[in-house]
Amino acid sequence: MGTAIDGSAIDKVLKDAVATGVVPHVAAIAADRDGIIYEGGAGVRIVGENHDPVTTATHFRIMSMTKMVCTTAALQQMERGELELDAPVDTYCPQFADVRVLEGFDGDTPKLRAARGRATVKQLITHTSGLGYWFWNADLVRFEKVTGVPNVVPGSAEAFKAPLVADPGTEFVYGINTDWLGKVVEAVAGKTLDVVIKEGVTGPLGMNDTMFRLDEARTANCVTVHVKGDDGTWSSAGEILNQNPDWWAGGHGLYSTPRDYVQLERALLRGGELDGERILRQETVDAAFANQIGDIDFPAEIPSADPPITDALRVGPGWKWGYGLLLNTQDVPGRRRAGTGAWAGLFNTHFFVDRTTGVCASIYTNSLPFISEHEAWKTYVDFEAALYSCL
């Protein structure tokens, strides 16, 4: 076990955020290389309906925090010589050759052309293939509206008909890359993604509460997604994810608990090993925490194309992307150090791994919109600052 810190300042952040209506509920956890050093929660599982207290053993939809799990599975295949990161995606998934670039509209007709180059597996991992998400790309919002092609959340295989919005290797575009990566992993393994992840990641790390579909008992332990009404109060929007999807979504499909997911964070903090189980080589972990997009930058600001789903993301300049991780290239005063790897999930879950300080942490709520500046995002920042003040 790690040495517990005095977490009273963190407790106050969590309790105040719920008491003032900033978030509907929240759980947070932090660990060092030796174990958990803080865990806490505030609020209830379903506001106004179920008064089970939220803890670090509560289940959440972790959405895009799934990406690091799927990326780990792909990196394991790379280590075994089964997967070439520089190989074109269509080597493993021939249907990817049919994906074209959207470059505008002629009335309501999308203007599509062939991509200038074949996207690689590495470009899927680094979000430089050209694939996007509707909520941060107005052209994809319009494309979905005029074609009827759904986004990935409903779980329909039709979502893979979505086009590129940039040529491969030209810019960072956050999108459905890791859903395609999951298809690549399945093709290489000859198994479905849930099995690959269980065998290679969650099983070895003892993450027994992390899965694509919850059983009855775990469903009864899961929060619902919450939205805020005009009167400023939170209410449950129920279940958002399709419980019988056409495919297991490597980009967003997992449920987990804070206690479970911190096992992956600690394995990354420890160079790929935890409790005698090695899931990645040290050099692979080092590569995950290194700039893998070269001269391309992570955008300083990404405007919202769907405000009920997400606010704009404003991280400012000086950020890069590794393997599944957003990397800050400078220290954040009073918070994470340069080289920290982090990411988040659409329903407001966040994690970071600071190898310099030797700490990893995550914070969870299930609410929309994502990264709301004065709500979930503020709570995340306040939690991180309070944690570092205790170290």
The helix or strand, by DSSP H or E, that contains position 108, with its residue range, turns out to be none
**Residue carrying structure tokens 């692979």:** 284
The type of residue at 332 is V
The alpha carbon dihedral of 214, 218, 220, 223 has a sign of negative
Which CB contacts under 8 angstroms, 24+ apart, belong to 100-103? Answer: 100/163, 100/164, 101/130, 101/163, 101/164, 101/165, 101/166, 101/167, 102/139, 102/140, 102/143, 102/163, 102/164, 102/165
**Residue carrying structure tokens 């400023």:** 232
* 136 Rama sector, left if φ>0, alpha if ψ -120 to 50, beta otherwise: alpha
Rg of the chain over all Cα atoms, to the nearest angstrom: 20
Which alpha helices (DSSP H) does 161-247 contain, by range?
Answer: 177-189, 193-197, 216-219
Find the farthest-apart pair of alpha carbons in the chain and give their distance in angstroms, rounded. Answer: 62
Which of these is catalytic: 67, 122, 183, 198? 67
- Side-chain-side CA neighbours of residue 381 (13 Å): 12
Query: Cα–Cα distance between 367 and 236 in angstroms, integer?
Result: 9
Query: Cα–Cα distance between 388 and 8 in angstroms, integer?
Result: 13
Phi, psi (degrees; rounded to nearest 5) at 12: -65, -40
Phi, psi (degrees; rounded to nearest 5) at 180: -65, -40
Phi, psi (degrees; rounded to nearest 5) at 273: -130, 145
Reference 246, options 158, 150, 155; nearest CA is 155
Which of these is catalytic: 38, 92, 133, 174? 174
Whether 67 is a known active-site residue: answer yes
Whether 228 is a known active-site residue: answer no
Whether 174 is a known active-site residue: answer yes
Reference 163, options 202, 205, 195, 129; nearest CA is 129
Which of these is catalytic: 64, 129, 236, 362? 64
Alpha-carbon distances, residue 126 vs 80, 81, 168, 181 (angstroms): 20, 20, 11, 11
Residues annotated catalytic, as ranges:
64, 67, 174
